[in-house]
Amino acid sequence: MGTTRRLSQGLIPFFLIWAMLVVTSMAVLQADFMDGMHVLPIVATLALFLGWLLANSTFSDRTVHFFALIYGLFFVFFLVGTTLPYNEPWRMRVLELVNRQIDWLGKAFSGGISRDGLIFVIQTSAVFWILGHLSAWYTFRHPHVWRVVIPTGVVLLSVVYYYNGPRPLLPYMAIYIPLALIFVAVTHLRAEENGWRAGSVRYDRGIRFDFVRSGFLAALLALVLAWGLPSLSASASFNETFSGASGPWRSFQDTWTRLFSSLRSYSAGASDPYQDTLVLGGPRTVGNSLVMDVQVDKELPYGVYWQAVTYDKYENGGWHITGSTISEEPHYPEDGPLNVPFANARTVITQTVTNYLPNSSLIYAAPGVVTADRPVLVDAVFDPEGRTIVTSLRSRTILRQGDQYQVTSRISLANATDLQKAGVDYPDWIRERYLQLPNTVTPRTIDLAGDLTAGLSNPYDKAIAVRDYLRSNINYNDQIDAPPDDAEPIDFIVFNLKEAYCTYYASAMAVMLRSQGIPARLASGYALGEYDEPSMSYRVRAINAHTWVEVYFTGYGWIHFEPTTSIPVMERPTSTASGQTAGGVDPVLSNAELFPLDDEVLNDNERRGGLFGEGATDGGPVQGLLDGRLSWPQIAAGVVLLVLAAGALYAGSAYNHRVEGDVDRSYLRLGDWARWLGTPWRTVQTPYEQADSLAAEVPDGQAPVYNLTHQYVIQQFSPAKSTGDNFDPHQEWRELRPILIKRRLRKYFSRPKGRK
């Protein structure tokens, strides 16, 4: 009988918890990270239902958790097992899932890369089982409301904040917040009712509706306030912690990318999409959001790209940055240019970059960066002569939307004839670092590279041959699934799937060239973007996110190649018999002409227009706000916010008027004020004893306190059950409310500073 009563009393909290879990699981499902996520709402529902029964049972705490573990393993393996693409006995399915998990753990601890997407489904299902069980546990066995609301809310917030795909997830948060606050109100009322019943205190059952309504109004107000607040990405402290250029969060991002490489990635609007690991994973989706504007002196030759990171080591189906001699070494503008290796046929260009990412640390620039006008952190190695081989540059402070920086790069103007004559006299450190290949590269991949380059006498022609083969024989498709876990990615793409996107194209070309003794590496960043001649700037969007190949040529340094068929090739011209470059390109320049890094060039900060200066480009997302123009959607959003705020104020005022106009509710509000003032208000006291306690705290308010209490006693205990005809609770509250507020403020500001 007792168990039945407890179950019936917990129906409303049960359904509120269930709604919160379903909303969160549906948000993860909507994000579409991986196939098979449809099991999450089922897992959460089963976990909550069984947790509800166990929490209301007579089993000990330890027994309940043991049963929850057994049930969780069974249902998670059963539901995830139904997603396997083959019909095997259940014993084999379970063994398959266990083996996959063990293999994943091995890669997690050994630094390997996992492309098994089912692991994410298993582990996310386990998370939702834990959420469901603990929600029931902390509601029906050991009530602790915030241990129910916060964990599920953190999962939902993480998905909403870090998802950058095309589907809207904010509505799920807008639904979750009212549910959570109503749950808090209902749970609090439930605890109070238990205390009232234990003390044989009479109360109006209709108060339940008032609590639910109050919770809903509080949720509505919270949503209105949250709508008007700046996003977390606008917080400097938040960005330094969670989007910083260094530290544990960056390490976590690299590890996540490595262990869940098959998840669908969405780079639209993402800050710093490039980390220290580049995985050959599953489908990717890029949006069209604005990333940056790059202002230059003139249109650039040969399709120069905006480089962020270079990768040198290929293993376990991905690329890594290895063996950095210096990691995040500070470099300041006054330190002068970076001591990079000299290369022939290069010219200096200055780029003024306007950043439009909400928070970013990577410095994007044309290859061969030598100076920056802001403090940066340098990831690099040193060659035997002590010169700096830059892997990536990161700003020491997080870049906000609209921030500008100026960088100087030395880009290559080498023509095809010069590169054909470069030779193969590579330094030993280049051979050691950029000819590395794992033994997993298949023989037929190496044989294909040999066939393509047979009969060609120089690395440049060999690189062109491999590039053209990939462009002609591999179709572009950025929605391909990750290669099977037992397949070598390059082999699978080139010989089986014959579809790829830029990461695979570039990886295939680099691996094939390395197999023929040609140093190559991968570079990631953004393609050139759309050039605007009047402003002499390139507009770069998320859709321009790209990975390409760089090949090392003795005397000329790193030269980029474009194997991805979806991007046009800009062929390098050949030199004429007179030594001039065909195609109207400047001739090869001398070192002095190519590297005029005097003080005027290096420290010309006055030419770098600030956010409000000449460097600001038209059409940026910040520009409309800075020049005072508001779009119609912004005006409409402001009107909606004002209407919602006015509605919330009106609803709150009307509710307050109803409460203070009712004698019973007025007396209960006296109790709320007493507790807020720190005055004892015990249920074992009589109403007049409670009034004495409050009157002692606010002597100036004795009269209205006693008047409200006396009318409450008359209404509750007199035969007539009614107050006097001339009694108006509103009049008493108009006198009492200012006294209570002043007393509360006086107590707050009179506290010791350390206790506020």
The full DSSP string for 232-294 is GGG-HHHHHHHS-SSSHHHHHHHHHHHHTTTS-EE-TT-S----SEEE--S-EE----EEEEE
C-alpha span between 528 and 266 (Å, rounded):
20
pLDDT value at residue 669: 84
Residue 174 resides in a domain? no
For residues 328 and 444, membership in a common domain is answered with yes
C-alpha span between 669 and 473 (Å, rounded):
77
86 DSSP 8-state letter: S
Q: Name the nearest CA neighbour of 689 among 706, 701, 665, 711.
A: 706
Q: Give 387's contacts (C-beta < 8 A, 6+ positions apart).
A: 339, 340, 341
Q: Name the nearest CA neighbour of 703 among 662, 669, 739.
A: 739
pLDDT value at residue 597: 38
Residue 416 half-sphere exposure, CB side, CA atoms within 13 Å?
14
Q: Where does residue 62 rank: exposed (0-12), middle (13-18), buried (19+ CB within 10 A)? A: exposed
Question: Cα-atom radius of gyration of the chain, to the nearest Å?
Answer: 34
Q: Name the nearest CA neighbour of 201 among 685, 656, 753.
A: 685
pLDDT value at residue 555: 93
DSSP, residue by residue, 456-486: --SHHHHHHHHHHHHHHHSEE-TTPPPPPTT
pLDDT value at residue 514: 97
pLDDT value at residue 561: 95
For residues 583 and 698, membership in a common domain is answered with no
Q: For residue 535, report the phi and psi dihedrals to the nearest 5 degrees.
A: -95, -5
Q: For residue 579, report the phi and psi dihedrals to the nearest 5 degrees.
A: 95, -10
Q: Name the nearest CA neighbour of 352 among 337, 363, 361, 339.
A: 363
C-alpha span between 654 and 642 (Å, rounded):
18
Q: Name the nearest CA neighbour of 558 among 570, 548, 543, 566.
A: 548
Q: Are the beta carbons of 443 and 531 closer than 8 angstroms?
A: no
Helices (H) and strands (E) in the chain, counts: 25, 21
Residue 648 resides in a domain? no
Q: Name the nearest CA neighbour of 729 among 668, 665, 671, 662.
A: 662
Answer with the one of 167, 189, 221 that is the final residue of a domain: 167
For residues 35 and 142, membership in a common domain is answered with yes
Task: Say what the pTM is.
Answer: 0.57
pLDDT in tens, 187-231: 877 777 666 666 666 666 666 666 667 767 777 777 676 665 555
For residues 670 and 558, membership in a common domain is answered with no
Beta pairing class for 326-331 and 346-355: unpaired
Can you give the CATH number for the domain in which 329 is found?
3.10.620.30
Q: Name the nearest CA neighbour of 482 among 164, 264, 313, 256.
A: 264
- Total residue count of the chain as it appears in this document: 756
C-alpha span between 371 and 374 (Å, rounded):
9
DSSP H or E run through 499: strand 499-500
Residue 218 resides in a domain? no
Residue 91 resides in a domain? yes
Cα(first)–Cα(last) distance of the chain, in Å?
A: 47
Answer with the one of 142, 167, 192 that is the final residue of a domain: 167
For residues 387 and 496, membership in a common domain is answered with yes
**Residue labelled with tokens 């491999």:** 466
- b/e map of 15-39 (b: 16 or more CB within 10 Å)? ebbbbbbbbbbbbbbbbbbbebbeb
For residues 17 and 119, membership in a common domain is answered with yes
Answer with the one of 148, 167, 186 that is the final residue of a domain: 167
Residue 476 resides in a domain? yes
Residue 637 resides in a domain? no
pLDDT value at residue 692: 86
Q: Name the nearest CA neighbour of 549 among 569, 517, 524, 518.
A: 524
Q: Determine the Cα angle at 301 with ends 299 and 307, to 5°.
A: 90
534 DSSP 8-state letter: T
Mapped onto helix, strand or coil, the DSSP state of residue 390 is strand
C-alpha span between 21 and 27 (Å, rounded):
10
Residues of the chain with pLDDT below 70 are 1-10, 164-165, 193-212, 215, 223, 225-251, 253-254, 265-272, 302-303, 323-328, 575-640, 684, 720-725, 751-756
**Residue labelled with tokens 């006008």:** 373
Q: For residue 539, report the phi and psi dihedrals to the nearest 5 degrees.
A: -95, 120
C-alpha span between 697 and 746 (Å, rounded):
12
pLDDT value at residue 414: 92
For residues 460 and 317, membership in a common domain is answered with yes
Q: Give 180's contacts (C-beta < 8 A, 6+ positions apart).
A: 20, 149, 153, 219
State how far the alpha carbon of 92 is from the alpha carbons of 29, 99, 422, 461, 485, in Å. 27, 10, 58, 52, 18
C-alpha span between 743 and 735 (Å, rounded):
13
Q: For residue 555, report the phi and psi dihedrals to the nearest 5 degrees.
A: 90, -20
Instruction: Tell me the residue range of the domain where 69 lies.
Output: 2-167
CA 143 to chain centre: 32
Residue 509 resides in a domain? yes
Q: Give 362's contacts (C-beta < 8 A, 6+ positions apart).
A: 272, 274, 308, 309, 392, 393, 394, 395
Q: Are the beta carbons of 422 and 385 closer than 8 angstroms?
A: no
For residues 564 and 683, membership in a common domain is answered with no
Residue type, 106: G
pLDDT value at residue 494: 96
C-alpha span between 128 and 601 (Å, rounded):
57
DSSP H or E run through 676: helix 663-676
* Number of separate domains in the chain: 3
For residues 474 and 579, membership in a common domain is answered with yes
Q: Give 142's contacts (C-beta < 8 A, 6+ positions apart).
A: none
Structure tokens at 309: 């990171």
Structure tokens at 539: 């507009």
HEC readout, 737-751: HHHHHHHHHHHHHCC
For residues 490 and 371, membership in a common domain is answered with yes
C-alpha span between 101 and 121 (Å, rounded):
11
For residues 681 and 581, membership in a common domain is answered with no
Residue 228 resides in a domain? no
For residues 582 and 665, membership in a common domain is answered with no
Helix axes 443-453, 502-515, angle to 10 degrees: 80
Q: Name the nearest CA neighbour of 744 among 697, 690, 686.
A: 697
C-alpha span between 665 and 11 (Å, rounded):
26
Beta pairing class for 537-541 and 290-295: antiparallel
C-alpha span between 233 and 360 (Å, rounded):
10
Residue type, 137: W
Q: Name the nearest CA neighbour of 116 among 263, 257, 317.
A: 263
C-alpha span between 731 and 496 (Å, rounded):
84
Residue type, 309: V
**Residue labelled with tokens 């917990």:** 10
